[in-house]
Amino acid sequence: MNDVFANERFRSAFDPLVFLVALGVAWEASVHLFDIKPYLFPALSDVFRVMWEHRWQMIIEGGYTLLEVLVGFAFAVVGGVVIALLIFFFPTARRTLYPMITTMQSIPKVALAPVMVVWFGYGLSAKFVMAFLFAVFPIIIATLGGLHGTPSNLVEHFQSLRASRWETIWRLRVPSALPSFMDGCKIAIPLAMIGAVVGEFIGSQNGLGYVILVSSSTAQTDLMFAALITIAVLSMVLFAIMELIGRIAWWRAV
């Protein structure tokens, strides 16, 4: 049994690595095979070279973007859980707040970015808000799904034991909702990255989005792809962290 689990863990790490290496080889080979101009689509080796040459810029600007993502995501987690609880436990909020949030979700967040700059300026606050707006809706929906998914027979069992409403929430509904909540967080964390980068596109002098904007205007396609790969790596790391926390949450819920 241990050999089976060890083999499964090895495959889960090895298969994605092989796929990424094959994708990189195909990228490099296609550029040379079809003689694609570097300003249109640079070779992967050139992108890695630029990433190394601009490594400190990638680290510093990536730090700005990561800060925006983490702060916006943290507010989305707190706000999303509070809003979900309000909607779940208060019928008035369910009839008023929930339709408004659903309507707001239909508005393209990119269209709100200039408004955020007008309201909050060109500093970090606008990027925090953009990351929050992109991330909060999946957390609300996932948390609501987890709360609604609490087995009714367990709720009745708690009621028969004369458990208070708070005890039922804390000891039953919260553990039951944890896996769904973590699924929402796994969806929300890359969306927070998108929101932060979009905010940097509209108005910023820092961050990986600003690097992409400047490099595209100066035809530095290799630097632009270097920033894109850095964003992808950061998103993968954050998603992996959420995946690890999600496994802990699953054991907590069992």
User: Which domain covers residue 17, as residue numbers?
Assistant: 1-35
Instruction: Note whether 82 and 178 are same-domain residues.
Output: yes
Q: What is the DSSP string of 55-71?
A: HHHHHHHHHHHHHHHHH
**107 and 6 both lie in a single domain:** no
Q: What is the pLDDT of residues 144-196, one digit of tens each?
A: 888 877 766 666 666 666 666 666 666 777 777 788 888 889 999 999 999 99
Tally: H helices and E strands in the chain: 11, 0
pLDDT computed for residue 177 by the predictor? 79
Residue type, 90: F
Residue 172 pLDDT = 73
- One domain for residues 76 and 103: yes
Q: Specify the pLDDT at position 44.
A: 87
Q: Which residue has the tokens 């909020």?
A: 93
The DSSP call for residue 171 is I
> In this predicted structure, what is the pLDDT of residue 135?
92
Same domain, yes or no: 3 and 114: no
Within this chain, do residues 229 and 175 fall inside the same structural domain, yes or no? yes
Sign of the C-alpha dihedral computed for residues 108, 114, 119 and 122 taken in this order: positive
Q: What are the start-end ranges of the H helices in 90-207?
A: 91-105, 109-120, 124-148, 152-160, 165-168, 174-202
28, 126: one domain: no
Handedness of CA 73, 187, 135, 234 (dihedral sign): positive
The total of structural domains in the chain comes to: 2
Judge contact between 122 and 204, C-beta under 8 A.
Answer: yes
Q: Do 118 and 92 have their domain in common?
A: yes
Q: Are residues 15 and 84 in the same domain?
A: no
Entry field: residues in the chain: 254
pLDDT in the model for residue 43: 84
Per-residue confidence at 249, pLDDT binned at 50, 70, 90?
Answer: low
> What's the mean pLDDT when you consider all of the chain?
82
26/84 same-domain check: no
**Predicted confidence band at 35 (pLDDT cuts at 50, 70, 90)?**
confident
The pLDDT of residue 228: 92
CATH number (domain holding residue 44): 1.10.3720.10
Query: Does residue 132 share a domain with residue 53?
Result: yes
Task: Assess whether 9 and 74 both reside in one domain.
Answer: no
State the pLDDT confidence band at 206, using cuts at 50, 70 and 90.
confident
Q: What is the pLDDT of residue 27?
A: 82
Say if residue 89's pLDDT is above 60: yes
Q: Is the same domain home to 29 and 124?
A: no
* pLDDT value for 74: 95
